[in-house]
Structure 1
Amino acid sequence: MNVKHYIAERAAKELKDGDIVNLGIGIPTLVADHIPENIQVFLHSENGILGVGPSPDQDHVDKNLVNAGKLPVTVVEGSSFFDSAFSFAMIRGGHVTVSILGVLQIDARGRIANWAVPGKSVLGVGGAMDLLEGSKKVIVTTMHTTDKGESKIVKELTYPITSERTVDLIITDLAVFSVKEDGLHLIELAPRISLKEVQEKTDAPFHIADSIINGTEVTL
């Protein structure tokens, strides 16, 4: 399985029946293709859709039906459409159960930077700030390192912070971290990934679950 799809599939396992879920740009959009068959969730896109379905194949692309990242989507039976103002009212009103976001960086406290790169043009803030403040739970899905091999999980953010709100869970191609008041907790290793590799590729300090230390941790 493609590593990005592995991350998306792992994130989908965190969803519960009845959740209203917003999927951010990048890896999060792949979650739509990995929703467990035994649950029903309602995928929300801030450009005005509730009821996003799996990604369409090339023969079923509707150029007028896209998500917030301008990628083609399908919709499920019973889906609804509305304007952007109503969509953001849903977010700010606390009606989104889970947001799954991509990031540029995550710091040792679990705060993220994902909306701007210093020195590069920015089209707009987007919905990440609202999603962080308005969602009941926030999950990050990201590659563990940049294309240059630098850790995305850092001691201090060097990119503009998105929100002071910390995320709840971080899922990368190497590991899963939960975020608690005392910082990051490594709770799961990806298949065929060692603790040593995670330690070498993570700039921020983190706690390690006893199950991993004792070698009893079971990956999903």
Structure 2
Amino acid sequence: MSETKGLTRQQMADRVAWEFQDGWIVNLGVGIPTMCSNTDIGDRAITYHSENGVIGYGPVAPAGEEDLNLVNAGGQNVTLKPGAAVVHHADSFGVIRGGHIDATVMGAYQVAMTGDFANWKLKGQKGGGIGGAMDLAACAKRVFIILEHVTRDGSPRLVPACDLPVTARGVVTLVMTNYGLFEPTGDGFRLREIAPGLTVEEIRAATGGTLRVADGLRPVTMGT
């Protein structure tokens, strides 16, 4: 499959960010999810939350303007929005465990048709670091996952059932890959939006689980 097909990582993050609604508190996990804070989604007031205690941050800081004391979950230097707060780690987790996170965006190694996902340990890996993922998966109102559609060796990441240690079961509400926007339905993945340059047949061949096409399938669309 041509490398020119599909979405860039920033485009994947942009599309997910357009799901955020005015007034939401959104947790952004390590990796591609952190790029959501770079997205201009108009006048919607979004409070970005990081487990390390930075609440109300904005885009990644431009080169030369970094504050080394301000980092997101991925260790990137970020900017602060008016009204932002830097709180104790325990207080940050209090926001999560109190059910105040409207959506969490996380990366993953695999997502299953049932909405299970695995993001903390690979096969053969000793140990692993589940971090705050278990708290977020259990307590956030919505779980959005961003990941590459296939592994480096071409194996599917959207699978019938996870064969890696599962982080949480049945919680994923939306999946964004470089191939399109999907919803786990329990017995498959519904393709809602398709990335440029790809066909449904190509996506089906690269998907481990059953692929269903939504009525009114459209190209990946940024904005309202």
Q: Could you state the TM-score of these two structures normalised by the residue count of structure 2?
A: 0.91
Structure 2 residue 52 is the aligned partner of structure 1 residue 47: yes
Of 94, 98, 106, the residue aligned with 2:111 is 106
Change (3 A) 1:118 1:219: closer
Q: Tell me the number of residue pairs that the alignment of Structure 1 and Structure 2 aligns.
A: 216
> Which residue is 2:138 aligned to?
133
Paired with 1:33 and 1:188, the residues of 2 have a C-alpha distance of: 22
In 2, are the aligned partners of 1:150 and 1:201 still within 8 Å (CA)?
Answer: yes
In 2, are the aligned partners of 1:92 and 1:130 still within 8 Å (CA)?
Answer: yes
> Which residue is 1:36 aligned to?
41
Q: Structure 1: where are the runs of 5+ without partners?
A: none
Paired with 2:99 and 2:188, the residues of 1 have a C-alpha distance of: 25
Q: What is the deviation of 1:73? A: 1.3
Of 137, 149, 153, the residue aligned with 2:154 is 149
In 2, are the aligned partners of 1:133 and 1:165 still within 8 Å (CA)?
Answer: no
> Which residue is 2:68 aligned to?
63
User: Which consecutive aligned stretches of 4+ in structure 1 deviate over 6 angstroms post-superposition?
Assistant: none
Change (3 A) 1:60 1:174: same
Deviations 1:196-220 (A, max 9, x none): 11101001113221324xxxx3431
Paired with 2:14 and 2:24, the residues of 1 have a C-alpha distance of: 16
Q: What is the deviation of 1:123? A: 5.6
More strand by share: 2
> Which residue is 2:211 aligned to?
206
Q: Structure 2: where are the runs of 5+ without partners?
A: 1-5
Structure 2 residue 25 is the aligned partner of structure 1 residue 24: no
Say which is worse superposed, 69-78 or 11-20, in terms of deviation. 69-78
Identity of aligned residues (%): 36
- Secondary structure of the residue aligned to 2:182 is strand
Structure with the greater relative contact order (CA < 8 A, sep ≥ 6): 1 or 2? 2
In 2, are the aligned partners of 1:110 and 1:184 still within 8 Å (CA)?
Answer: no
- Secondary structure of the residue aligned to 1:17 is coil
In 2, are the aligned partners of 1:108 and 1:206 still within 8 Å (CA)?
Answer: no
Deviations 1:7-31 (A, max 9, x none): 0110011011111000011110000
Deviations 1:144-196 (A, max 9, x none): 11111111111121211001232100011111112335542111111222101
- Secondary structure of the residue aligned to 1:115 is coil
Of 9, 24, 31, the residue aligned with 1:4 is 9
Deviations 1:73-131 (A, max 9, x none): 11111101111111111111100001111110011212100011233244632111111
Structure 2 residue 191 is the aligned partner of structure 1 residue 186: yes
> Which residue is 1:90 aligned to?
95
In 1, are the aligned partners of 2:28 and 2:73 still within 8 Å (CA)?
Answer: no
